Structure 1
Amino acid sequence: MEWVLLVVIGLIAGTLGSLMGLGGGIIIVPALMVLSSYTVILMGITPQVAVGTSLVIMIFTGLSSTLAYIKQQKVDYKSGAIFFAGSGPGALFGVWLNRDIEVQSFLIYFGIFIIFVSFVLMIRKYLKPLKLRPKGIRRSYVNDEGITIEYGFQPALAIMIAFFVGMFSGLFGIGGGSLMVPAMILLFGFPAHTAVATSMFMIFLSAIVSSISHISLGNVNWLYALALIPGAWFGGKLGATINQRLKSDTVVNILRIFLIIIGIRLIWQGIAG
């Protein structure tokens, strides 16, 4: 029954991660940490193993959803490569920060971070994108209504933001999309669907880098990974399909409430433990 639960967690994480460009780690890591208190197979799991295992899963979620978004022609490869120039080194730095963190501290910090992400999701539609600067990279996109939308960014600023996103990815195993997608939409004016698709492309590349580091440190439980990967793979495709047909506001509201509950639960578990 517990192994079936891991498959279901992988499916939910892959679907939500692909749908919103989050990567899925923001579901997998807290799920592993919370379930470690209630299930035999996950008992005693460390933050390092939870993060390392989550990042391996995100390789498959990222690849699955990226392939689906490529078919939909929504991935901005050039922007994704520029973001990866920052997120890749940031992910390695995050892995280094994760090495010696204790369980209680990890739970508290991660809980606070999740609640912060929920707040970002709450206010993102009330913020307006920055005005395009003439020297930055400029891109255009034709939406479903035939309207051309322009967006763009300064490479130096984008790489700096992506570095911190990658750092949180390596530290918490979240993929970084929970921060990168709002940044792409709010700061650079990306259309939402393009931001999600490009974020999953960047997450796929960053997950490879950080996973290799965690594997070398012995931070991956391959039995957990094998149980989570099938659900994450199909969830990645399912999320991309839903993204094409669904307005994301309803999903964002549900996810926001869910994240607040998880964040409070992790903080309480960290303090009580």
Structure 2
Amino acid sequence: MEYEIQLLVALAVGLLITGGIAGVLAGLLGVGGGIVIVPVLFWLFDLLNVSPAVAMHLAVGTSLCTIIPTSISSARSHHKRGAIDVDMLKSWAPLIFLGALTGGILSKVLDSSHLTLIFGIIALLVSINMATPKTLVIGQSVPGGPVGKGAIPFSIGGFSALMGIGGGTLSVPVLSAFSFPVHRAVGTASAFGLVIAVPAVCGFIWSGLGVADRPPYSLGFVSVPAAVLIFSVSVLTAPLGSKLAHSLNPKRLKLVFALFLFLTAIKMLWSVFMAASA
């Protein structure tokens, strides 16, 4: 019993620290705190012997839940600095919302290995992009029409929902590739996080209702205790990250985070490979 109490205390402290780091990164790098929260939750659920069949769904759903208050805090901070492009937000928000809702509903038919594979592949690509010294530029402006106002935002919303991340991880590199100013990309992405998280969480809650082997106090595929512990800290540290984003050159930090993300992606992809070959 004493060991179990010590383990739970250690896990609670770990979740609080995770929330703090995720909040800072959400504001500083525009990558979205979920890119940190999902793998940490995945490992913690493994320590708690949560069934592998639902562990990744719980990690993704819980991460999306924490993004709601964190993105509100981060977006408010960026808005005060005039870093949110309102026209871009209005243009992309409807399709991002629809894509996120679709991703959340799809979690009903995708198993844990599928979600892990999606997270691992995209996280690997994001880590390589972050580690590349020169920003990839493929156009001088964001395209219009069905691609720029349809396919791109819908894909960002859908894949972000399935990964349990906010808008920054995918939208900041995409906007930067079309010569969008980086600070405005980060600020606008913080608002995208809310547009993604709300419908995606609803989808993951609905998908997980009545599913067996979930830990206590879970609402669908959302672990309520884990979500509360994480966002109780991340909502406080997100404005700090936003402030640092306007006063620091984050290149070195991006390299360190890219390495963490690369190793995490490799580990997740390896776990999928080993499970498939077993």
Taking structure 1 as the reference length, the TM-score comes to 0.85
Partner of 1:100, secondary structure, is coil
Report how far residue 129 of structure 1 moved: 4.9
- Answering whether residue 211 of structure 2 is matched by residue 202 of structure 1, we say no
Match of 2:203 in 1: 213
Residue of structure 2 aligned with 1:184, choices 167, 170, 175? 175
Report how far residue 120 of structure 1 moved: 2.3
Letter in 1 for 2:184: T
Match of 1:171 in 2: 162
Q: Deviations over 1:76-130 (max 9, x none)?
A: 1121121112211111111122223222343233222211111222347243351
| Equivalent residue runs for 1:21-170 within 5 Å | 21-38=30-47, 40=48, 43-44=50-51, 46-123=55-132, 125-132=134-141, 153-154=143-144, 156-159=146-149, 160-170=151-161
Work out the CA distance in 1 between the residues paired with 2:126 and 2:113. 20
Work out the CA distance in 2 between the residues paired with 1:49 and 1:71. 34
- Structure 1, unmatched stretches of 5+, are 133-151
Work out the CA distance in 2 between the residues paired with 1:155 and 1:16. 32
RMSD over aligned Cα atoms: 1.9
Kept in 2: contact 1:14–1:235 (CA 8 A): yes
Work out the CA distance in 2 between the residues paired with 1:59 and 1:85. 17
Match of 2:12 in 1: 3
Kept in 2: contact 1:61–1:236 (CA 8 A): yes
Letter in 2 for 1:18: G
- Answering whether residue 25 of structure 2 is matched by residue 16 of structure 1, we say yes
Report how far residue 178 of structure 1 moved: 1.2
Work out the CA distance in 2 between the residues paired with 1:94 and 1:124. 32
- Go from structure 1 to structure 2 and tell me whether the alpha carbon gap of 1:31 and 1:85 turns closer, same or farther (over 3 Å shift): same
Letter in 2 for 1:208: V
Match of 2:4 in 1: none
Match of 1:235 in 2: 237
- Alignment coverage as a number of residue pairs: 251
Report how far residue 174 of structure 1 moved: 1.4
Q: Deviations over 1:12-63 (max 9, x none)?
A: 112112212222111111111122222x3x7335222211111110011110
Q: Deviations over 1:137-166 (max 9, x none)?
A: xxxxxxxxxxxxxxx542543332111010
Kept in 1: contact 2:115–2:162 (CA 8 A): no
Letter in 1 for 2:91: I
Letter in 2 for 1:252: K
Work out the CA distance in 2 between the residues paired with 1:176 and 1:48. 19
